Amino acid sequence: MTIDIGSPLLLLGRGADPASERGVSCPGDLPPASDPALVERAHAAKAALGERLFVLGHHYQRDEVIQFADVTGDSFKLAQEAAARPQAPYVVFCGVHFMAESADILTGPDQRVVLPDLAAGCSMADMATYDQVEECWEVLEDAGIADDVVPITYMNSSADIKAFVGRHGGTVCTSSNARRALEWAFSKGSKVLFLPDQHLGRNTAVLEMGLGLDDCVVYNPHRPDGGLATDELRAATMILWRGHCSVHGRFSKESVDDVRARIPGVNVLVHPECRHEVVREADHIGSTEYIIRMLDEAPAGSAWAVGTELNLVKRLADRHSDKTIVFLDKTVCFCSTMNRIDLPHLVRSLESLARGEVVNQITVDEETAHYARAALDQMLALP
């Protein structure tokens, strides 16, 4: 048996690994984080750019960055917003690499998408490489089931995985439309290959589609044939890729038991990237946009333990001081790559654009973009 350990780990922001969401190092000088004029500089550059600039901010971004976003959202809303702004020549994406790639695919040919720090990747997206997914498809072909399989990739995947899925008649999904994506896929085929987040795939199939845990198998790209026997593949309805989010994967059943013991009557609200044992114990499950809506609408005096990224939970706790809002786990956990985008990187991006210089542009090659767009358009068209 051979175990593929992949390429050596690079420190974030150092060295080049174009095949990975870790990206490449950023050129040029950053303003020092200690510069007290950073906020003022960002406002000035943004004002100078005016209508030529559109800034998108994912909910997991730092407060210091999110204050400059023209629109905030979950990955679905941000994809829709990127597609709906053809007039802005510059789109600055405060989020991670796969989101900026999707924005580049969904925007027009004259629009430039900028990611303020190229090292803002996503460890989950890195868990499925193009070669691994091609190899998996060959395994499905050898098992004689590829024609029955509709591939779905979570938005949190690289553009070439989205293109693979587009080429094979599948769709992209996000945490806010995974159920609709599965319903659509099962109207076209009898099996789904779900990439790269096993938890979102399993949670949606079992809790929203009524499938059993026995209907799901996990394909491990580091084992020969995914670690699965042909009979297991043939019997499965959901073939889940062995990927996960390192932030949401930290929450456990013990985190839920512990918070329920500490805060009687607490409502447990989690993102579907959490493990099945966690979402099964939760009171409410949904995307970041759903989590925000639930807490906005919750009555004063209610108590909530939230299982998602810490920047968002802290912001919601500050916004709703009449409610008790706590992080689901006892240890704090930010998404380290989302946190790469900070004020110095944003200021550098905005000031460079104001000078007419595009730094850290994200571009997807035409052929990849063509097929990835097919899978993204399919998602945007889901009923």
The per-residue DSSP string of 350-361 comes to: HHHHHTT---SB
Taking alpha carbons only, the member of 102, 110, 57 closest to residue 83 is 102
Entry field: residues in the chain? 383
For residues 251 and 272, the answer to whether their CB atoms sit within 8 Å is no
Q: Is 123 in the site for ligand 13P (CB under 6 A)?
A: no
End-to-end Cα, the chain, rounded Å: 44
Residue in the block written with tokens 């019997």: 235
For residues 295 and 310, the answer to whether their CB atoms sit within 8 Å is no
For residues 16 and 24, the answer to whether their CB atoms sit within 8 Å is yes
| Choice between 20 and 176, CB closer to ligand 13P | 176
Closest CB 348 distance from ligand SF4, rounded Å: 21
d(Cα 124, Cα 1) in Å, to the nearest integer? 25
Instruction: Tell me the number of residues near ligand SF4 by CB under 6 A.
Output: 13
| Choice between 246 and 324, CB closer to ligand SF4 | 246
d(Cα 155, Cα 346) in Å, to the nearest integer? 24
Q: Residue 195 forms beta bridges with which residues? A: 153
Q: Point out the residue whose Cβ comes nearest to ligand 13P.
A: 74
Binding ligand 13P (rule: CB under 6 A), the pick from 23, 45, 55, 74 is 74
Closest CB 75 distance from ligand 13P, rounded Å: 4
Closest CB 303 distance from ligand 13P, rounded Å: 22
Closest CB 128 distance from ligand SF4, rounded Å: 12
Please tell me whether 58 is known to bind a ligand: yes
Q: Is 156 in the site for ligand 13P (CB under 6 A)?
A: yes
Binding ligand SF4 (rule: CB under 6 A), the pick from 150, 338, 350, 359 is 338
Instruction: Tell me the number of residues near ligand 13P by CB under 6 A.
Output: 11
d(Cα 187, Cα 307) in Å, to the nearest integer? 32
To which H or E segment does residue 317 belong? helix 310-319
337 binds, among ligand SF4, ligand 13P, none (CB under 5 to 8 A by kind): ligand SF4
Closest CB 260 distance from ligand SF4, rounded Å: 24
Binding ligand SF4 (rule: CB under 6 A), the pick from 337, 349, 352, 378 is 337
Q: Beta 267-270 vs 303-307: how paired, if at all?
A: parallel
Binding ligand SF4 (rule: CB under 6 A), the pick from 69, 96, 178, 375 is 96
Binding ligand 13P (rule: CB under 6 A), the pick from 132, 198, 203, 288 is 288
Please tell me whether 271 is known to bind a ligand: yes
Residue 66, φ and ψ in degrees, nearest 5 = -60, -25
Binding footprint of ligand 13P on the chain (CB under 6 A):
74-76, 156, 174-176, 245, 273, 287-288
